[in-house]
Amino acid sequence: MSRLPLHSVSDARLLKFGLSESDLLELQAMALKTVPLESSSALVLREFTNPATGLRIWRELETRTNAAATASSAWIETWIRHYGDLLRWRFVSATSRGRPVGIVLLVESTLQREGPLPVWSLHLGTAGELESDSVFAEYNSPLVLNGYEQSFAMALMKHIDCDGRWERFHLDGIQAEVAKPYLEQRGEAEIREVPAHYFDLKETRANGQSVWDRLGKGTRRSIRTGRQQHPELSVDWSDSPDAMEMLFADLVKLHQQRWESVGKTGCFRSERFTAFHRDLTRRWLPDGRAVLARVQSGVGTGRRTMGCMHFYVENNRLLCQLTGMLHEAGASLGLLSTYMILESALSRGYDALDYLGGDTQQKRNLSTHANRLQWCVWKRPHWKFSVVDALRVLKRSLPLGCR
C-alpha cells in the first residue's frame, strides 16, 4: 500500500490514542480517495451519511461562496427530510490542506428505468426520485469554492468511477458551463439540452424601459385583448406568512385544476413534493428567498384569482418553480397573469424572472434571454442497455401498423 500523508490535526491525534500509523493508513484507504492535482497539493475526498456532519461542512462552505438555491444547505436538508427514506444518499466533501473546498450530495436510485428494465442510477444532487415525486432540481450543482471547480470535477469523477455498482450516472438540470469540467473528465455522455428562458428586468430597468416595451407585437395584442376582458387586475405578493399560506393554497388549487382537466395528475398530487416545497417556502420566506405572486381580477368580494407563480430567489433573480393558471376557452390568462407579474417584479427591483427549463411559445414570448441547462447521462456497458437498444432497432424496422 502506498503511503498517505496525515491530512489533518484529527489524524495526528489518532496516533496519540494508540493507533499505529499503519492502522491509520488502513482507515484512510477505506474512507478516503486522494487525487493528485497539477501542483504538489491534493484534494482529499470523504464520504458521510450522517446529515449533521455533511450539513455542518455545507454551511461552512456557504459562508465562503455563493450557493445556488439547489446547492444550498436549506434545499439539501429539506430534501433529505422528505426524500431521504426513499433513496440512498451520501455526502462527498473535498478538502485541500485540511480545509473544505467543495461538497456534493450523491443519490443512488433503483427507481429509474431503461425502457422496461430498472437500472441502478447514481445522481449528482437531489434527483433520482420517480417523476411523479421529483422536485426537478434545475441549476443543479455541487457547492465548490471559486478556483477549485476543475480539480473538484476531476476528483469526483475518479471517485465515482471507483464505485462499481451504478449502471448510469446522471448530471440532472445542470448549467452547461458547470457541466463542462465533468464532461471533459469522462466523455461519451448522452446530453439533452434545454433552454431556460428568462426576462432580464435589470437590463430593462437600466434602459429606462417597461416590460411592455420589450414584447413582440403579437404578444402585446394578446395581452391587450386580455386587459379589455379583465380591466380590473391586481398583483399580490406573499409579504407575510399568512399571505404565503393563502397564496400557496391558491397555487395548489389552480395547478391541480388545470392539469387534471387535461387528464394529468399535477405535481401537487405527490404528498412528498407538496411538503417539500411548502416547508422550504416557509423556511425561506422571512429572508426573501421564497415568494409567491398572485394575479386577481375584479374588486371587493367579486375578485377571483387568475394566476399564481411560486419563486425561489437567487441573487435577486426570481426562479419560477411552479405555476397555477385559471383556464378559460379563448383566453390567454396564463400569458396575461405572467405579464402582470413581470411588470410588478420590475417595480419591486428584481433583476430577472427565470422560467427554468422548457421551450414553450409563451416562455419565448415573455423572455429576453436564455441559459442552457443540460441533462447528462453516462452508461456503463451492460446487457440491459444492449437489449433495450436491440429492441428499439427492431421496433423501428417494423411497419407502422405493427409497432
Print the domain residue range for 68.
37-187+375-385
Same domain for 210 and 326, yes or no, is yes
For residues 173 and 343, give the distance between their C-alpha atoms in angstroms, rounded to a whole number: 28
Mean pLDDT by 10 residues, the chain (403 residues): 35 42 42 36 89 96 94 98 96 95 97 90 96 94 96 95 94 96 90 97 98 97 93 94 97 95 92 97 97 92 91 98 87 93 98 96 97 96 82 76 62
C-alpha cell at 123: 445522481
Same domain for 123 and 181, yes or no, is yes
Same domain for 100 and 224, yes or no, is no
HSE, side-chain direction, 13 A CA sphere, residue 268: 19
The pLDDT score that the predictor gives to residue 1 is: 35
- With respect to residue 324, please indicate whether it lies within any of the assigned structural domains: yes
CATH code of the domain covering residue 234: 3.40.630.30
Residue type for 383, please? W
Same domain for 214 and 168, yes or no, is no
Rg of the chain's alpha carbons, rounded to an integer? 24
How many residues in total does the chain contain?
Answer: 403
The pLDDT score that the predictor gives to residue 23 is: 45
- Using CA atoms, how far residue 61 sits from 8, 94, 102, 150, 270, in Å, is 18, 11, 7, 17, 32
Same domain for 336 and 312, yes or no, is yes
**Domains identified in the chain, total number:** 2
- With respect to residue 136, please indicate whether it lies within any of the assigned structural domains: yes
Same domain for 260 and 218, yes or no, is yes
- With respect to residue 27, please indicate whether it lies within any of the assigned structural domains: no
C-alpha cell at 289: 428567498
